[in-house]
Structures are given as structure tokens and as C-alpha cells.
Structure 1
């Protein structure tokens, strides 16, 4: 699902007060971390993830890989914090 600009702005506003629910360390995206991200996306739809690596390019690649493997959208990535959205069957967030 591709998000429109209006939907991205809406989701950014919704994500502002959220705290990161998953932290990715230097070990990278292990199967356990991906399982936690899947659970969080299923339960919350909109999540923040803290990427604990210093390399900018590696953080971008991680975001892309998370998005691909979880079938989610990257809403925003600023520094070491990334926001992901995936609609669930029990939709909690109604997009504009």
C-alpha cells in the first residue's frame, strides 16, 4: 500500500508522542528482532523503532529491509528513530 502525502503528514502527527517499541542494536536485524517488529505492527499499526547503528547508509538499508520484510511503509526516519505503518485487520487508525 502506498501512502499519499496527506496520509504521511497525518501519521507523522500521530507518531509524535510515541516512544520506540523496538530497539535494533549493532547485531542488526535478527529473526528475533523481526518477530518483535511483526508483533508490534500487528498490535499497534504505527510504531517507532530505534536503530542503534551510527552509519547513516546502514540505517537507510535497515529501514528498507524492515519495510520489505514486514510489508509496511516507512512514514519517517529522522536520525536513529524510524516510524513504520502497516494497516491491520482491526484497524485502530483511520487514514484521511
Structure 2
């Protein structure tokens, strides 16, 4: 579980990132979760965009992605979700304590 200080730090790091994945009409599926897991292992912090034609709302999509990828939702603003998962091999971010 991330503290408020850690979430603020991660939000500042994610500000300049572009969304890597888009969730569309098909919603969240196993293949997408697998790909997000792989990218999180390499980058630790990503943005996901939820398109307007998605059947699920953004809160449901964020919950499905975080549960499926075992990641933390750092921020949910508009149709953009910021996810964080600590990497086992490629540590890039050092969180404040």
C-alpha cells in the first residue's frame, strides 16, 4: 500500500508520461493484463487511457487492471489511469519513505 507522500512522488513522475495502453470497446482482457504486467516490470510506472467507447466506467477498469496486474492505482483522473508496480529486476524508482 502506497502512502500519500509516495503517491505524490509517483504522480509527479507520471505527469510527463504518455498513455501506453488504451482500453476500448472490448474492455479489459487477459491479453491486455499480461502485456501491462510485462511493461510494468520494465518501467514500473505507466499511464492507461480509457476510450469513450469503453462499456465499463473508469473506476471499474482501474480496479480490473490493478487486480489483474497486482499493481497500485496511483491516480485516476478523467479517462487516464496511472499504475505503479515495483519491479523485481529493473528497479528505476526509489520511493520516499
Secondary structure (helix, strand or coil) at the match of 1:95 reads coil
Question: Matched residue pairs, number?
Answer: 95
Gaps spanning 5+ residues in structure 2: where?
none
> Whole-Å Cα distance in 2 between the matches of residues 53 and 6 of structure 1?
31
Runs of 4+ in structure 1 over 2 Å off: none
TM-score of the superposition, structure 1-length normalised?
A: 0.91
Q: Cα offset for 1:54?
A: 5.8
Contact 1:73 1:84 in 2 (8 A): yes
State the Cα RMSD in Å.
1.7
> Whole-Å Cα distance in 2 between the matches of residues 50 and 16 of structure 1?
14
- What does residue 32 of structure 1 align with? 31
- What does residue 93 of structure 1 align with? 93
- What does residue 63 of structure 2 align with? 64
Gaps spanning 5+ residues in structure 1: where?
none
> Whole-Å Cα distance in 2 between the matches of residues 41 and 53 of structure 1?
24
